[in-house]
């Protein structure tokens, strides 16, 4: 290899097996392999981690303590690194002030445009910022929303005051505020509120004029329930207790700000216009519409601003985000949308010789949008950067300058480089990915399954759905397809709202360093009970979170030392050697294994080694989704995204009772082609047991093997929300829609 390469020797991070590798720089390199094979350990936990760590080391300790923390990888030698930028699938999140406009910097350019051209003239661009005191609406402080009392939740009309009709904490019988209403002689405390007059209920809630109109003598200091609640809970400046926070969450709601109507800005800024449009109006337009508007602005004084704003908006359209609006809160974005926005942000950078590490950039993309993402990755490479991509999509592999496959299997069976070369060479290789690429596709018409009734989703208008009514067959697998933003997830949400269903979505698995596959799926208590019964000791003795914990590290297996302004140091606990359990708990055995030994077993080993049929059945659910190689005590924090999603699926499958409807949100996320086969087998088995499976999916293999297809579109946002097709996938090859064209092209390819 030339010196323009990232050189690794003896990499041992997670499951990497003393891996040696030279990764070419300034190329688009795609890393492939089965889920859990070690791709992320190599790219993120070794290359990106070491580059980030070394860059942080160039800063003084005070600054380092405020930079993102990087755990140094286990590797003998690594060279040829450049500064790294990680573009992952974690949601952008942010706070209530973070929007698509602010996070992409498009709002900054739009503010600048208005500060130069607005009529009437308002002033500097900060006057159009809802995060600056000079620009924010004084009523909502730039949030666009205000917290108001949810008065409809305050009263239980079927109860009397004596029975606790006022639901608010502190207002019930015997509570502090109860006497202020029950003991004043103005209300019938034993009569259900439903039998009160409207005026009486108004007086109870609002006091003031409503109380005066009631014509009864009330105490001079009388406060209605609403006024008292808002004074106690909403108009206090002290730090709110958990009890008060819980009451606020339960008895208030967010409403659009009555002054700015959600525009977030002060009156001068929200009423100023450019070409007859306010900045608030433009923020609510879809990016595609906004782009056309901005292109029409030709004043010479703002040419640079228009050029910069147009370039950023065009990049969002190109990457498939043209249906978003700049006012959209970042907290509402999916993982795929967040990742694409992060990619757009990098396109404006003039820095070169960076290393971009990208995690499955095609997640959430319709096949017709994948080419646009590939073009952006190539643009980053052509700007003089190295682009390292973890991906399972063959379309991305075909555009790679080089492909590196890690494997051959997962967990301890992976961690080695089994291929390095071109796409054509990979197709001929005897590796898991090579064989999967050569495997002929299977038609969705194989083995026709007959539905057993239907579920009607009627008159759905959620988000962009346009009064949609569909019939979803029971007892078979239905896929919901369409371009990103077409309404698939909205239709799935309507199905769940109108019919009982188990949802397996893409929300992160709630993990801590103590959380493992068996604790998350609920199998751990049965294992602890087995040890307790076999040794006649309390169950708590076999919990690292309870009596069985090592007294030195409290069941964590490591000790952490705070080094003030330097990075904290974490070492393996010398008392338990990282095994987490107390010496006494380790003396008890089942089939020759201590509780810590069981943590080191793989799921497949534990199925045969632990003498309990119930435990075996629970573990078999994990093995059935292709996770048999995981250790029982492996922290969920170490699992890949695809592995975490399958742990969630296994948990839901374990608790299924009776005929159930499952709604899955892109379950192929993070899955290798072989693992998709495993997942398909699980879904087929669910259908075979009489369950109904509804899948939101872009993967063409899953779509073709479905029994029923519902395609939404034709475009995203306001251009979607209608049903384009309902029927068998095999009948949808000549309709001219994005999904139909993709299916037709795939059928030709296979």
- 71 with 117, same domain? no
Lowest mean pLDDT among 316-325, 458-467, 561-570, 644-653: 561-570
Q: How many CA atoms lie within 13 A of 341 on its CB side?
A: 30
What mean pLDDT comes out for the span 527-553? 93
**Residue 238, pLDDT above cutoff 90:** no
Say how far apart CA 226 and CA 354 lie, in whole Å: 58
- For the stretch 298-325, pLDDT in tens is 999 999 999 999 999 998 988 888 889 9
Strand partners, 642: none
Same domain, 182 and 223: yes
Residues 122 and 222 both lie in one domain: no
What single string gives the DSSP state of each residue in 155-195?
A: B-TTS-GGGT-B-STT-STTSTTTHHHHSSSSS-TTS-GGG
CB 170 within 8 A of CB 164: no
Is 265 in the same domain as 130?
yes
Give yes or no for residue 498 having a pLDDT over 70.
yes
Choice among 136-145, 681-690, 704-713 with the minimum mean pLDDT: 681-690
Long-range contacts at 524-533 (CB < 8 A, ≥ 24 apart): 526/612, 526/614, 526/615, 526/618, 527/595, 527/598, 527/610, 527/612, 527/615, 527/632, 528/595, 530/590, 530/610, 530/611, 530/612, 530/615, 531/588, 531/590, 531/595
Number of domains in the chain: 5
Do 394 and 464 reside in the same domain of the chain? no
- Number of other residues whose CB lies within 10 A of the CB of residue 234: 16
Average of per-residue pLDDT across 157-168: 93
pLDDT attached to residue 640: 65
- Residue 462 in this model has a pLDDT that exceeds 50: yes
396 burial level (CB within 10 Å; 0-12, 13-18, 19+):
buried
Q: pLDDT-derived band of residue 264, with 50, 70 and 90 as boundaries?
A: very high
CATH number at residue 619: 1.20.1580.10
Report the percentage of the chain scoring pLDDT > 70.
93
**493 shares its domain with 543:** no
Same domain, 532 and 591: yes
**165-184: pLDDT as tens digits:** 999 998 999 888 999 898 88
The residue from 236, 256, 276 where one domain ends is 256
Q: Are 552 and 559 in contact (CB under 8 A)?
A: yes
Q: 644 in a domain, yes or no?
A: no
319, 346, 371 - which closes a domain:
319
553 in a domain, yes or no?
yes
Residues 591-631 pLDDT 10s: 999 999 998 899 999 999 988 888 998 898 888 888 888 88
The segment with the largest mean pLDDT, out of 89-93, 142-146, 239-243, 457-461, is 457-461
> 444 in a domain, yes or no?
no
CATH of residue 482's domain is 3.40.50.300
> What pLDDT does residue 475 have?
94
**Gap between the Cα atoms of 483 and 462, Å rounded:** 17
CATH code at position 213: 1.10.8.280
Chain centroid to CA 290: 27
User: Looking at residues 475-481, what average pLDDT do you find?
Assistant: 96
Locate 330 and state its tokens: 């970042």
CA 584/CA 562 separation, integer angstroms: 30
Same domain, yes or no: 466 and 492: yes
pLDDT number for residue 444? 44
**Tokens read off for 749:** 């390819």
Residue-range definition of the domain harbouring residue 501: 453-508+654-748
57-81 pLDDT tens trace: 898 887 887 788 888 899 999 999 9
For the chain, give the percent of residues with pLDDT over 90: 54
Give pLDDT, residue 655: 64
Does residue 328 fall inside a structural domain?
no
Evaluate if residue 563 carries a pLDDT over 60: no
Predicted confidence at residue 443, as pLDDT, reads 46
Position 327 in a domain: no
What pLDDT sits at residue 10? 97
283 has a pLDDT exceeding 60: yes
Does the pLDDT of residue 446 top 90, yes or no? no
Domain end (from 388, 407, 438): 438
Is 740 inside any structural domain? yes
Q: Alpha-carbon distance 179 to 620, whole Å?
A: 59
Residues 45 and 181 placed together within one structural domain of the fold = no
Is the same domain home to 626 and 479? no
- Is pLDDT at 271 greater than 90 in this prediction? yes
Q: Are residues 271 and 132 in the same domain?
A: yes
Residue 101: is its pLDDT beyond 90? yes
What does the pLDDT look like over 180-217, one tens digit per residue? 898 888 889 999 999 999 988 998 998 877 777 777 77
Q: Is the pLDDT of residue 662 over 60?
A: yes
* Confidence check: pLDDT of 442 > 60: no
Please tell me the total number of residues recorded for the chain in this structure: 750
> How much is the pLDDT for 411?
82
| Encoded tokens for 218 | 């009330």
Supply the pLDDT for residue 1: 38
Q: Is residue 645 part of a domain?
A: no
* Residues 157 and 242 occupy one common structural domain: yes
Is 524 within the bounds of a domain? yes
- pLDDT tens per residue across span 36-45: 899 999 999 9
pLDDT confidence bin for 11, thresholds 50/70/90: very high
């Amino acid at each position: 290899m030339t010196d323009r390469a990232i050189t690794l020797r003896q990499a041992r991070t997670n499951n990497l097996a003393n891996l040696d590798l030279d990764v070419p720089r300034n190329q688009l390199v795609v890393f492939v392999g089965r889920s859990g094979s070690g791709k992320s350990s190599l790219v993120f936990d070794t290359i990106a981690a070491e580059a980030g760590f070394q860059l942080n080391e160039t800063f003084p300790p005070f600054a380092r303590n405020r930079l993102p923390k990087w755990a140094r990888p286990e590797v003998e030698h690594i060279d040829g690194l450049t500064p790294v930028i990680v573009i992952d699938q974690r949601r952008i999140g942010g706070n209530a002030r973070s929007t698509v406009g602010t996070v992409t910097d498009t709002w900054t350019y739009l503010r600048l445009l208005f500060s130069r051209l607005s009529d009437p003239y308002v002033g500097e661009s900060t006057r159009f910022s809802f995060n600056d005191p000079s620009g924010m609406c004084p009523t909502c402080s730039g949030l666009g929303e205000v917290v108001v009392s949810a008065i409809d939740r305050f009263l239980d009309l079927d109860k009397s005051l004596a029975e606790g009709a006022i639901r608010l904490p502190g207002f019930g019988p015997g509570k502090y505020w109860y006497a202020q209403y029950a003991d004043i002689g103005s209300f019938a405390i034993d009569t259900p509120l439903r039998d009160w007059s409207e005026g009486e209920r108004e007086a109870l809630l609002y006091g003031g004029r409503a109380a005066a109109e009631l014509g009864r003598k009330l105490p001079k200091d009388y406060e209605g329930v609403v006024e008292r609640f808002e004074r106690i809970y909403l108009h206090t400046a002290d730090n709110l207790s958990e009890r008060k926070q819980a009451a606020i969450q339960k008895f208030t709601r967010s409403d659009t700000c009555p002054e700015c109507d959600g525009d977030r800005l002060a009156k001068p800024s929200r009423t100023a216009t450019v070409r007859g449009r306010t900045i608030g109006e433009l923020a609510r337009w879809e990016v595609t519409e906004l782009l056309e508007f901005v292109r029409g602005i030709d004043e010479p004084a703002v040419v640079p601003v228009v050029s910069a704003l147009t370039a950023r908006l065009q990049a969002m359209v190109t990457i498939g985000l043209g249906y978003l609006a700049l006012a959209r809160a970042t907290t509402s974005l999916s993982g795929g949308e967040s990742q694409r926005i992060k990619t757009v942000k990098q396109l404006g950078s003039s820095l070169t010789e960076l290393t971009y590490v990208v995690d499955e950039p095609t997640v959430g993309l319709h096949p017709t949008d994948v080419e646009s993402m590939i073009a952006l990755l190539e643009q980053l490479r052509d700007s003089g950067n190295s682009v390292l991509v973890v991906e399972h999509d063959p379309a991305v592999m075909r555009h790679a300058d080089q492909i590196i496959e890690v494997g051959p299997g997962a967990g301890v069976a992976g961690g080695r480089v089994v291929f390095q070369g071109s796409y054509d060479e990979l197709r001929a290789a005897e590796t898991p990915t090579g064989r999967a690429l050569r495997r002929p596709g299977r038609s969705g018409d194989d083995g026709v399954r007959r539905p057993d009734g239907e579920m009607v989703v009627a008159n759905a208008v959620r988000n962009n759905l346009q009064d949609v009514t569909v019939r979803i067959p029971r007892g078979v697998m239905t896929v919901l397809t369409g371009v990103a933003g077409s309404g698939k997830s909205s239709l799935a949400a309507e199905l769940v709202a109108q019919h009982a269903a188990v949802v397996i979505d893409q929300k992160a698995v709630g993990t801590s360093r103590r959380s493992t596959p068996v604790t998350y799926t609920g199998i751990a208590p049965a294992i602890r009970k087995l040890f307790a019964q076999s040794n006649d000791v309390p169950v708590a003795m076999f919990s690292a979170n309870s009596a069985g914990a090592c007294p030195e590290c409290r069941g964590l297996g490591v000790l952490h030392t705070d080094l003030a302004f330097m990075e904290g140091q974490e070492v393996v606990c010398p008392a338990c050697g990282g095994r987490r359990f107390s010496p006494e708990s380790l003396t008890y055995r089942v089939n020759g294994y201590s509780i810590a030994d069981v943590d080191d077993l793989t799921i497949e080993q534990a199925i045969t080694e632990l003498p309990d049929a119930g435990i075996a059945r629970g573990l078999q659910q994990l093995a059935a989704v292709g996770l048999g190689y995981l250790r029982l005590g492996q922290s969920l924090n170490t699992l890949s995204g695809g592995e975490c999603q399958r742990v969630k699926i296994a948990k839901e499958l374990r608790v299924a009772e009776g005929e159930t409807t499952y709604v899955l949100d892109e379950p192929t996320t993070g899955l290798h082609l072989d693992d998709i086969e495993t997942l398909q087998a699980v879904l087929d088995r669910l259908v075979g047991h009489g369950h109904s499976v509804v899948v939101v999916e872009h993967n063409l293999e899953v779509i073709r093997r479905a029994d029923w297809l519902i395609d939404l579109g034709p475009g995203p946002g306001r251009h979607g929300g209608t049903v384009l097709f309902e029927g068998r996938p095999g009948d949808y090859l000549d309709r001219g829609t994005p999904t139909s064209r993709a299916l037709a092209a795939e059928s030709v390819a296979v």
